[in-house]
Amino acid sequence: MTFAGMSSLEIIAVIVTIIGVWLMTARSLWNYPFSFLSVALYAIFFYRIKLYADMGLQCIFACTLLYGLWQWTHGRSASGEVVVARIQARGVAMSLAAALVVALGLGTFLYKKTDASFPWADSLLLAGSLVGSLWGARRYLENWWVWIVVDTLYVGLYLAKHAYPTAALYAAFVVLAVLGWRRWQTAYAAQDRPLERPGSRPDPAPGASPAANLSSLDSVAK
């Protein structure tokens, strides 16, 4: 395998991934075909440069993409737009605690059992990426803040690995994450009510608090 071959694979993965993330910022279901192709390409790429945690992350991403596709398909408003939700403080605490456990466990394994490059940083960023992926699948507005932090740190990791196109990709991801936050925040403020489905909870009573209204919106898509 030549370096040129690796570089070509990386550049193709960069282009496909940028398209997918751009479509996600627009809450378009078309982001999913590009995202599935992206995880396949990056699984191969990360194997080649010995970032095994990131390679494994692509398999997890594939699972969360399937989950997210279902959530997004069933979490649309009466106008057909994907509904944006908010995560509660308890959910944030539980997600961060789980991420820390995953990072410590995986980091220990990679450090002792493999020749992985940067095992601790790789594992921590994998855990953060998993949180961002799951929050995005659940349509949480806050997923974009996770990606802003994680992608910024990934820029440094890939520069250290001399994976310059991918480092540039993650720098672009930071910009896209900021754009995604702004777009989703605007949509959250203006969104209409999702379609009711059999077995869904009834609309909140008139005069219910905004928190109750939001809870009703999110429960429809679960």
Residue 7 clears pLDDT 70, i.e. is over it:
no
Residue 200 has pLDDT above 70, yes or no: no
Please tell me the least confidently modeled range out of 15-19, 134-138, 174-178, 212-216: 212-216
Q: Lowest mean pLDDT of 102-106, 201-205, 215-219, name the range.
A: 215-219
Q: Is 188:218 a contact under the CB 8 Å cutoff?
A: no
Where exactly are the structural domains of the chain?
Answer: 3-195+202-220
Residue 70 pLDDT greater than 70, yes or no: yes
Confidence class for position 195, pLDDT limits 50, 70, 90? very low
pLDDT in tens, 91-142: 999 999 999 999 999 889 888 887 777 888 888 998 998 899 899 989 999 9
**Which residues on adjacent β-strands are paired with residue 85?**
140
Structure tokens at 206: 């008139």
Q: Determine the Cα–Cα distance for residues 106 and 89; give it in Å rounded to an integer.
A: 26
Q: Give the integer Cα–Cα distance in Å for 199 and 70.
A: 17
